Amino acid sequence: MPDRAPYDRPVGSLDQLTTEDVITRVLGGDRAGRRSGLADVSEQLRAANEAAWAATSPRLLELCRVRIAILLGCAAEVDARTPGSGVGDDLLAAIRSWPTDARFDALDRACLAFTEHYVIDVASIDDDTVAAVREHLGDEGVANFVNALLVVEQRIRLRLVWDRLLGEV
Amino acid sequence: MERSARVTPGTAVDRTLRTALGGFAAATVRLSTVDPVTTEIVRLRCAHHHDCGT
């Protein structure tokens, strides 16, 4: 009997799994996953995620990750916490109030404004929104932040798709 | 849509991150479980969404 693609076999409940575990389970590190090439995608995505957190302030990326999860309606990522980010639950609980809450500084606000625009309509991000981030992070910091944001957003969107398509199998 | 440059020309993304993202994209492109026409339609839709002329 030929191997089935990893996404073409029951994967069980995804509810209690981290996104990292979901990626591994769905894309597969087994023989079927390796033969289909999906396991390679899984490994590369894991490497990209590690690099994203290493190249950016974990605090900033954690704030933006949770904001993306809220905007996209990904409960698992809203509830998840990234070890070592230095962000407390109280701050994350207040993240919808970032424009007015004094606990969010100018850098936080610049990055969260960018993130919201990025999620809503990435092609229409204006110069001022980018300049506000650049003012704090510099050229390379902006470039790294945007690429890190891309990785975080892709993982959350994949999680949402798989929760919907496979979560009830 | 025309825009001014947002970062100084020559600005580089962190090498490890750039390499990892390239590896992810390449691994995705190598997949053959989705037919080429659907793959191309999705690629073009994504490029349009991101306003990417490349």
Pair of tokens at residue A12:
């069980």
Angstrom distances, CA of residue B13 to CA of A16, A43, A116, A143, B28: 34, 21, 22, 6, 21
Closest chain A C-alpha to B45 CA, distance in angstroms:
12
> Is the per-residue pLDDT at A9 higher than 70?
no
* Subunit contact A140:B17, Cβ cutoff 8 A: no
DSSP A5: P
DSSP A18: -
Mean pLDDT of A24-44: 79
Mean pLDDT of A129-143: 97
Q: Given B14, B18, B31, which is nearest A41 (Cβ)?
A: B31
Other CB atoms within 10 A of residue A37 CB: 18
Which tens digit of pLDDT belongs to each residue from A13-22? 677 889 988 8
* Subunit contact B26:A142, Cβ cutoff 8 A: no
Q: What is the pLDDT of residue A37?
A: 82
Contact A127, B3 (CB under 8 A): yes
Locate the chain A residue with the closest alpha carbon to B8: A139
- A88 in B contact zone (CB under 8 Å): no
Q: What is the pLDDT of residue A38?
A: 85
Supply the ipTM of this predicted assembly: 0.84
d(CA A100, CA A88): 18
Other CB atoms within 10 A of residue B49 CB: 11
> What is the reported pTM?
0.88
DSSP A8: G
Q: Which residues of chain B are within 8 Å of residue A130 when distances are taken between CB atoms?
A: 6-7
d(CA A129, CA A52): 21
Q: What is the DSSP string of chain B?
A: -----SS-TT----HHHHHHHHHHHHHHHH--SS-HHHHHHHHHHHHHHTT---
Which residue from A168, A161, A154, A159 is spatially nearest to A19, judged by alpha carbons?
A159
* Subunit contact A38:B17, Cβ cutoff 8 A: no
d(CA A1, CA B50): 42
Q: Count Cα neighbours of A154 within 13 Å in the Cβ-side half-sphere.
A: 20
Mean pLDDT of A87-102: 97
Q: Which residues of chain A are within 8 Å of residue B30 when distances are taken between CB atoms?
A: 37, 40
